[in-house]
Amino acid sequence: MSHKDVLTAAGLSESELTGGTLSVHSPIDGAEVARVQETDPADMPVIIARAQDAFRAWRKVPAPRRGELVRLLGEELRASKHELGAVVTLEAGKIVSEGLGEVQEMIDICDFAVGQSRQLYGLTIASERPGHHMRETWHPIGPCGIITAFNFPVAVWSWNTALALICGDPVIWKPSEKTPLTAMATMKVMERALKRFGDDAPDGLAQLVIGGAEIGEALVASEDVPILSATGSTRMGSVVGPKVMERWGRPILELGGNNAMIVAPSADLDMAVRAIVFSAVGTAGQRCTSLRRVIAHNSIKDDLVTKLTKAYQSLPVGDPRKDGTLVGPLIDAQSRERMQAALETARGDGAIVHGGEAVTSDVPDGGAYVAPAVVEMPSQTEIVRTETFAPILYVMGYDAMDEAIAMQNDVPQGLSSCIFTLNMREAETFLSDVGSDCGIANVNIGPSGAEIGGAFGGEKETGGGRESGSDAWKGYMRRQTNTVNYSDELPLAQGVKFDI
């Protein structure tokens, strides 16, 4: 199928793909696949006002009915799974199975949110005063801005949107400039769901804005966008977070990760190798949850490195559309340059680098293909503590578990982490108060590929936000504490007397 056919099958028309100012390239072969129209920054106030209007109507629609829209979105996504997955492959370079997996993640969060729409529970609380009761209620807040990155070009929108919509909040989506087409294709699916849902979905409930920093800044700066969910680099988050807070908005930040696996002496090494390869090499190392560091016990480290380098040698790198490919291209040439520069720095720190070179044969011309790298490090130097969005796996040794946990935590980021061990004391220590400091900590599975049922996000430079499952929905609502007096007295709390 040609690039054009993929886009047409996903419902994008010739006029949407031509005549604009934003040039979109496929990482598969670097070809320009579209010139998309950008949102005029001058239109942002109107777009935000439209979302505010939508909010005033949508908050009155009962939550389970709002859930019906999300149910329809899930249904439409199921029907369009292959077409949308193919656009993810085309525009983000994911292998077919991961493109489909990303759409499945969208479907999963829709299913989750539909159930959640009947469970926006608050507490009832005992009052200290006679004839009074207290309760906690949850209310919609208003439009939610969603800024997403190229590497999960559609799933991250869906985590935010499925929850925001059931919670009564309209959404305005600014996708990465590298992946506007997946966003446009997703909006087609959303439009079908909205059409089936009928009239109680107001205009402006789910809007898309395309463009650069100026567009994002309009969302970040507007008091009429009370929630701003941003996924991307720590640098971006460090600008966005404070700006949103300055105007008393609520940021939900999903920023960098520097995810580690501790491999203990008792670990099932073959299983560890499989988990390492998927999480370090999957999505060409471009997940925020990608495995970037292995901290292996010195008694098994060499054995592990041998097994890993052997597994890495047979990894099929190439066209992500081709059956059997496991490692597709990096998003662009700059990304490959950053990878090469990181490997150079590591070499300077005394690393032994296995792999990591550019791959140019048996791959489509024009894409940035690389051989994933295993990098033996003498210690956790600055480059190891830096997130490089590429398939580089740093391997370091340890002697005592305390030391391994300290190393795992001694990075600025705090997204995901894991331990491979059959020793229950080690596993439970890793998950305890003195263990991993990350938002996600796993035992005997890798750090990436989280299910949507859990809250997703991390600590420290990762930004502290939580999205997706568990009670992440609370981030999209305002909490209200209610005290109701059903007596004919007016006692004050804390025994205060104030008779007039």
Supply the residues annotated as catalytic. Answer: 254
Element (H, E) at 116: helix 96-116
Q: How far is the CB of 232 from ligand UN1 (least distance, A)?
A: 9
Q: How far is the CB of 283 from ligand UN1 (least distance, A)?
A: 7
HSE, CB side, 13 Å, CA atoms: give it for residue 268: 9
Residue 265 has phi, psi (to 5 degrees) of -60, -30
Contacts for 303-307 with beta carbons within 8 Å, 24 or more apart?
303/269, 304/263, 304/269, 304/272, 304/273, 304/395, 305/354, 305/374, 305/376, 305/395, 307/269, 307/270, 307/273
Nearer to ligand UN1, 197 or 456 (CB): 456
Chain residue whose CB lies nearest ligand UN1:
450
Buried b vs exposed e over 35-71: b needs ≥16 C-beta within 10 Å?
A: ebbbbeeeebeebbebbbbbbeebbebebeebbbbbb
Taking a C-beta distance cutoff of 8 angstroms, is the pair 420, 268 a contact?
A: yes
DSSP state of 389: S
Q: How far is the CB of 287 from ligand UN1 (least distance, A)?
A: 4
Farthest CA pair distance, the chain? 89
Of 230, 282, 218, 278, the residue nearest 256 (C-alpha): 230
Q: What residue type is assigned to position 229 of the chain?
A: S
Contact residues: ligand UN1, CB under 6 A: 105, 151-152, 156, 231, 287-289, 448-450
* Full strand arrangement of the beta sheet holding 132-140: 124-125, 132-140, 477-485
Nearer to ligand UN1, 98 or 426 (CB): 98
Cα radius of gyration (the chain): 24
Rounded Cα gap, residues 377 and 394, in angstroms: 6
Question: Would you call 494 exposed, middle or buried from its count of C-beta atoms within 10 A (0-12, 13-18, 19+)?
Answer: exposed
Q: How far is the CB of 152 from ligand UN1 (least distance, A)?
A: 4
Nearer to ligand UN1, 140 or 463 (CB): 463
Nearer to ligand UN1, 259 or 421 (CB): 259
Taking a C-beta distance cutoff of 8 angstroms, is the pair 471, 455 a contact?
A: yes
Q: How far is the CB of 416 from ligand UN1 (least distance, A)?
A: 7
Q: How far is the CB of 413 from ligand UN1 (least distance, A)?
A: 13
Nearer to ligand UN1, 50 or 287 (CB): 287
Rounded Cα gap, residues 246 and 415, in angstroms: 25
Nearer to ligand UN1, 165 or 415 (CB): 415
Rounded Cα gap, residues 10 and 87, in angstroms: 7
Nearer to ligand UN1, 81 or 354 (CB): 81
Q: How far is the CB of 19 from ligand UN1 (least distance, A)?
A: 31
